[in-house]
Amino acid sequence: MPLSSRHEITVEWGDCDPAGIVYYPSYFRWCDQATYRLFLAAGLKRDDVSSGHWTEGTPLVAAECAFRRPSQPGEKLVVESLVERFGRSSFTIRHVFRNQSGEIAAEGSETRIWAKKEGDARSLEAVAIPDDVKRRLGG
């Protein structure tokens, strides 16, 4: 069974556009934060910066979000995240945002790769996801 992570977000004034509803980049920021929390729940570090610079981690290669209903300042949302699909070097995380009555406010996904680099960004290379990482995330 896949590992899932849940946490609550309070929509703040700065998360919203001039119409008073959540501005779409806020959802993408919350998805990234939820991915980080999912990795913590699995006992994993998402990106290796122990050497002082990034050498191994999980760069984002695709993201999408469908907005089901507007959310406003002061509203509380619960985001639940889990790995929906594993490939050899990629994985897709699904994020579902629900309001306090359980209605879906938004659904998003991130596709990330397991990657290493030796030098600048052009040396980035997708590598197989370690078996331990898959196991901890429920794959």
List, in order of start, the domains of the chain with CATH numbers.
4-136 (3.10.129.10)
CA–CA gap between residue 7 and residue 29 (Å, rounded): 14
Task: Specify the length of the chain in residues.
Answer: 139
Model pLDDT, residue 1: 67
CA geometry: angle 63, 84, 107, nearest 5 deg: 50
DSSP 3-state helix, strand, coil percentages of the chain (rounded to 5)? Answer: 20, 40, 40
Instruction: Please list the pLDDT of the chain residue by residue as tens digits (139 residues).
Output: 679 999 999 999 999 999 999 999 999 999 999 999 999 999 988 776 666 677 788 999 999 999 999 999 999 999 999 999 999 999 999 999 999 999 999 999 999 999 988 878 788 899 999 999 999 998 7
Beta bridge partners of 11: none
Tokens of residue 121, six digits: 């960004």
Q: Quote the pLDDT of residue 54.
A: 73
